[in-house]
Amino acid sequence: MTKITYIDHQENSKTIEVENGLSVMEGAIQNNITGIDADCGGSMACATCHVYVEDEWLSKLPQAEDAEQDMIDMAFEPKKNSRLSCQIIISEELNGLVVKTPTKQS
Ligand code: FES
């Protein structure tokens, strides 16, 4: 289990323990985190799982593949630290990961 902190656009924070091997999106869905809808179920076709990854964690993630980056480009207010949470697979190394959800996803 790995601790992940989800922060919404109003700075409400929720830290939960998520099973390793799941995605950050799946952890959110299983724990009723608002702001991550995941309409496509994780197939990189919706961007409703868009999150901003805190800078200190960004370098610990594998780089986004082209398909993920293309979808991020179509997301609401993409930033340099934007990722699709369905593509971030949880492991021990990500213990303490902090992600924020954009304003539009609430
Ligand atoms: S859940 Fe649809 S792109 Fe991540």
Among positive and negative, which fits the CA dihedral 89, 93, 97, 102? negative
43, 65, 68, 101: which to mutate for ligand 1, most atoms within 8 A of CB? 43
Question: Which atom of ligand 1 is the closest one to the Cα of 40?
Answer: 2
Q: What is the pLDDT of residue 21?
A: 98
The count of other CB atoms within 10 Å of the CB of residue 83 is 25
* Burial status of residue 97 (CB atoms within 10 A of its CB: 0-12, 13-18, 19 or more): buried
Query: Residue 43 corresponds to which amino acid?
Result: S
pTM > 0.85: yes
- Ligand 1 geometric centre to CA of 30 (Å): 15
Q: In angstroms, what is the span from residue 72 Cα to ligand 1's centroid?
A: 10
Distance CA 50, CA 25 (A): 9
Contacts with 74 (C-beta within 8 Å, 6 or more apart), sequence order: 47
Tell me how far apart the alpha carbons of residues 103 and 23 are, in angstroms, rounded to a whole number: 21
What is the pLDDT, as a whole number, of residue 104?
Answer: 81
pLDDT at 82: 97
Determine how many CB atoms are found less than 10 A away from the CB of residue 24: 27
Nearest-atom number in ligand 1 for the CA of 50 is 4
- Report pLDDT for 23: 98
- Confidence (pLDDT) at 105: 76
pLDDT tens for the 106 residues of the chain, in order: 999 999 999 999 999 999 999 999 999 999 999 999 999 999 999 999 999 999 899 999 999 999 999 999 999 899 999 999 999 999 999 999 999 999 887 7
